[in-house]
Structure 1
Amino acid sequence: MRMSTRRVIAPIALIGAAGIALAGCSGGPGSTGGGGASGGSDDNVVTVYGTIADTEAELLEQSWKDWEDENGIDIQYESSKEFEAQISVRAQGGNAPDLAIFPQPGLMADIANRGYLKPAPEAVQKNVEEGWTEDWANYATVDGTLYGAPLMASVKGWIWYSPSMFAEKGYEVPTDWQGLLDLSAKMQADAGTAPWCIGFGSDAATGWPGTDWIEDIVLRQSGTEVYDQWVANEVPFTDPAIKSAFDEFGKIALDPAMVNAGFGDVASIVTTPFGDPATALVNGQCSLHHQASFYDGFITDAGGDVAEDGDIWAFLMPPYEAGGESSGDVVTGGGEIVAAFDDSESTQKVQEYLSSADWANSRVALGGVISANKGLDPENASSNILKEAIRILQADTTTFRFDASDLMPGAVGAGSFFKGMIDWVNGTPTDTVLSQIEAGWPSS
């Protein structure tokens, strides 16, 4: 299970309440980390805390095992589905880990602004300068200070489909948004069933797949300037540009003729776990599905072969207008940032290794994930779709924007935005939803 890249997360909105509740507790800005009894008390032990769990956690630990042995450092990893809430609680309680793998730059910035994180050491700064683009470095930077380095990454906005069905029916990959809508309508007319499958379900984080749709459409329809202003709330959710993205998504998500293949009608979107459409794609119940590059693993787990001539392949969501400003590789994506609560020598050495191309190649070679590190060899990726995603991330011509909800304050990004997507699919009017999401922005 790809916990962080698959965005299985807890609501960051809890941080505010947790901060108030613990205002009088021990610890605070400037407290060192330590991850409990072992961290901080033993220079040969470094504690790492994150959302990556199950098989992915095992692969993470495998990726640094040889380095641990060579350097005599024991990296102790702990995962939690409640990371977003608990990292704040632990920091304020003086029980922070040595290193944290933040799945949202916005959350990392929140913690950094409260004085808990250590600036990245010189060796990490050097690795970031060499290994990542300026955009990626900026996601780990707060008020001019670099606090961490990117870890893994994903490219969002892929449309998953069956190549054999396209060949049999004579369907072609669309070159613009209207072409995608036209293709959807033709599929529906030909088969008499809905072509799209969509699942918003993700436990406490239900709703996030809907935010990915909106982000992809905003970037393609309105461009990078509006997207960046939206992230900063200079363009509010109530702006016509954001409403237009909801309206365009609604042409698919709110149309019972378009969804929800294999699961029911529009009402089933919220209750369908986001991983389940993989099985519907493989068995032919569903023809089209929107999800990030990590979905390759879900499809493989469902028994499908991901290849251009295999069971399932994918194309990037097309630009809003063919040949327009957003033509080419304009993509949204996600990833993690590794930042430190402790600045001991051993912690800095681990942080340096995790920021290196050596670690990126070690982990990617184990399968299922990618990195945006420029030193990553795409051939180490475990599938062709992941190799293509790496090519997109490494290309100088790519316009990349980090997932907007991950950059927004937690109360919005994983709070009112998630909830708004649920309410919207369940029938709440768009204007009402947009006002409610916007109301989630902190007053300061």
Structure 2
Amino acid sequence: MMRRRTTLLTGCTALALTFGATACGSSDPVSAGGGDKALGGQTVTVAGVWSGSEQKNFQKVLDAFAEKTGAKTQFVSTGDNVSTVVGSKIEGGNAPDVVMVPQVGVLQQFAENGWLKQLSGTTEKAVDTNFAPVWKTYGSVDGTLYGLYFKAAHKSTVWYSPDAFTQAGVEPPTTYDDLLKAGHTVSDSGLAAFSVAGQDGWTLTDWFENIYLSQAGPEKYDALATHELKWTDPSVVEALTTLGKLFKDKQLLAGGQNGALNTDFPGSVEKVFGPKPEAGMVYEGDFVAGVAKDQFGKSIGEDANFFPFPAVGAGEAPVVSGGDAAVVLKDGKNTKAGMALLEYLATPEAAAVWAGAGGFLSPNTKLDLASYGDDVTRATAKSLIDAGDSVRFDMSDQAPAAFGGTKGAGEWKLLQDFLRDPSDPKATAAALEAAAAKAYKG
């Protein structure tokens, strides 16, 4: 497919529009510019999926940008279906200037539709300097940078109750086999090992991806993510077999398979950290900490802690990530100010604002870890940064939404079916390949 290109707004030109010509020679242009209010009277509209505390904390970042530049900001929450909402706004002549895109596949779709402006030279330089190269890769389409990853998720963290581990006499495991052994020991002490959020199919894709990345390795992971490798490949069957050992073990799952299928993500956290614990561990991303803290009053590091998702077999411990990329729409009413916002978001200064508020990880390597509010978040952030280019983006987020991101369809549904009956990994792999082939062809 022919993909449209846009003219590059040079770093100095974009910077001058935003912070004044004197900033053009600065090595840290956004920080150097503060206080001249060059965008006074202009409004930047930003659309994204965030609501609640995430929207509130991102607003603090926007407020810091406004204080620095004089611009006004307006945030519009899109709900989960970013593509549909943004498309309708473009058609209606009411496009936002900036969109926070939560999936690589959606960013690619926006670029292919010709909706996006190439990011400025200033932003690209900041990405080259401040981020591991993998983040530039995920923000680019055909070698052109369209997306800046501002917020990241670390999806290779297993959260546990220290009290449950103490009672069972177990330590955080470092291999997958030891993880299952520790789970049985926890179960013998009176709690189920794992609370699994099978009602939300996306959590099951994350289970699979961590196992697959560790067991099959990054090259096959990348090939499967782009459907260059078929889901019927033996490596997929092997990973499903490994996952199936957990799913079919009623001693390990809180409520068994039916209980897992009737548990959503917040419920899975509640079963470990709520007032009536049913399990000792819950696997999901760093955002588990926010739920444990905000909804159940847990002290992170004392009442709730994590260990890295352990290595499977002879593989390396996986680091799977997700994230939200800022993009600038061509049809926005104030794209120059939108581009200036991205130049600000590329700085450690902007990341520090949300880091201090909590519920946030940044892939910006120049962000001082002291900016985070607690030791556990610092450890999670350090793990993500230290992984460098070995980080792999959530595979389902790279796929067409029909396969990797639709409730009751594609990968979500088929892995729920596998949780219900994990007896035939080959049949599940075949069903996944049929769904993937249809979605990628479409």
**Smaller-chain TM-score bracket:** 0.7 to 0.9
Q: Indicate how the Cα distance of structure 1 residues 195 and 142 shifts in structure 2: closer, same or farther if over 3 A, else same.
A: same
Cα distance, 1:176 vs. partner? 1.2
- Per-residue CA deviation, residues 112-156 of structure 1 (Å, 9 max, x unaligned), is 012111101111111111211100111100001001211111111
Give the aligned partner of residue 441 of structure 2: 443
Match of 2:356 in 1: 365
Partner of 2:372: 381
Distance 1:438 1:396 in 2: 30
**What secondary structure, in the 3-state scheme, does the structure 2 residue paired with 1:127 have?**
helix
Alpha carbons 2:209, 2:395 under 8 Å: kept: yes
Q: Which amino acid aligns with 1:384?
A: D
- Deviation readout 1:11-61 (Å, 9 max, x if unpaired): xxxxxxxxxxxxxxxxxx899xxxxxxxxxx97111111101112111111
For the 8 Å contact 1:159–1:289, the answer to whether it is kept is yes
Deviates more, 1:211-220 or 1:390-399: 390-399
Tell me the TM-score normalized by structure 1: 0.83
* CA distance in structure 2 between the aligned counterparts of 1:90 and 1:200, rounded to whole angstroms: 34
Percent of aligned pairs sharing the same letter: 26
Alignment equivalent of 2:326, drawn from 338, 354, 359: 338
Q: Give, in whole Å, the separation in 1 of the partners of 2:173 and 2:373.
A: 27
Structure 1 position 93, deviation (Å): 4.7
Opposite residue 60 of structure 1, the aligned amino acid is F
Which of 240, 243, 250 is the matching residue for 1:249? 243
Match of 1:166 in 2: 165
Match in the other structure for 2:292: 299
Deviation at 1:396, TM superposition (A): 5.9
Partner of 1:287: 280
Q: Distance in 2 between matches of 1:46 and 1:30?
A: 23
TM-score under structure 2 length normalisation: 0.83
The residue type paired with residue 193 of structure 2 is: P
1:125–1:406 Cα change, 3 Å = same
User: Which residue does 2:105 correspond to in 1?
Assistant: 106
The SS at the match of 1:287 is: strand
> Structure 1 residues 364-373 or 134-143, which shifts more?
364-373
Which residue is equivalent to 2:23?
none
- Report the alpha carbon displacement of residue 159 of structure 1 after superposing the two structures with TM: 1.4
- Residues in 1 aligned to 2:222 and 2:405: alpha-carbon distance in whole angstroms: 18
- Kindly tell me the number of residue pairs found equivalent between the two proteins: 393
Measured after TM superposition, the shift of residue 96 of structure 1 is 2.5
Query: 1:326 aligns to what?
Result: 316
Shift of 1:325: 4.5
Query: Cα 1:422–1:94, aligned 2, differ >3 Å: closer, same or farther?
Result: farther
Query: Are residues 43 and 425 of structure 1, via their aligned partners in 2, closer, same or farther at CA, if it must alter by over 3 Å?
Result: farther
Does structure 2 conserve the Cα–Cα contact (< 8 Å) formed by 1:331 and 1:398? no
Structure 2 residue identity aligned to 1:326: E
Shifted more, 394-403 versus 333-342: the winner is: 394-403
Note if 1:44 corresponds to 2:78: no
- AA in 2 matched with 1:340: V
Structure 2: how far apart are the matches of 1:289 and 1:200?
12
Query: What is the rounded CA distance, in whole Å, between the counterparts of 1:152 and 1:288 in structure 2?
Result: 25
8 Å CA contact 1:217, 1:245 repeated in 2: yes
Structure 2 residue identity aligned to 1:349: A
Alignment of structure 1 residues 353-432 onto 2, 5 Å: 353-395=344-386, 399-415=390-406, 416-427=410-421, 429-432=424-427
In structure 2, the CA distance between the partners of 1:442 and 1:376, relative to structure 1 (3 Å rule), is same
1:11 counterpart residue number: none
Q: How has the CA–CA distance of structure 1 residues 268 and 167 changed in structure 2, closer, same or farther, with 3 Å as cutoff?
A: closer
Return the offset for 1:189.
Answer: 3.0
Q: CA deviation at 1:398?
A: 6.8
For each residue in 1:384-440, what CA deviation from the matched residue of structure 2 results, as whole angstroms up to 9, or x when unmatched?
Answer: 221011111222667211111111222221131112222222337544433333233
Which residue of structure 1 lines up, in the alignment, with residue 154 of structure 2?
155
What amino acid sits opposite 1:75 in the alignment? T
Q: Which amino acid aligns with 2:151?
A: M
Q: RMSD over aligned Cα, in angstroms?
A: 2.3
| Correspondence 1:61-210 to 2 at 5 A | 61-81=59-79, 82-191=81-190, 193-201=191-199, 206-210=200-204
Q: Which residue of 2 aligns with 1:315?
A: 307
Counterparts of 2:418 and 2:389 in 1: how far apart (Å)? 32
Contact residue 107 and residue 147 of structure 2 kept, 8 A: no
Which residue identity lines up with residue 239 of structure 2 in the other structure?
A
Q: Distance in 1 between matches of 2:357 and 2:388?
A: 28
The range that moved more, 162-171 or 350-359, is 162-171
SS of alignment partner, residue 224 of structure 2? helix
How much does 1:216 deviate?
A: 0.2
Q: Structure 1 residues 392 and 44, CA, compared in 2 at 3 Å: closer, same or farther?
A: same
Q: Give the 3-state SS of the residue equivalent to 1:305 in structure 2.
A: coil
TM-superposed CA distance for 1:166, in Å, is: 2.4
Higher helix share: 2
**What amino acid is the match of 1:229?**
A
Q: One-letter code of the match for 1:63?
A: V
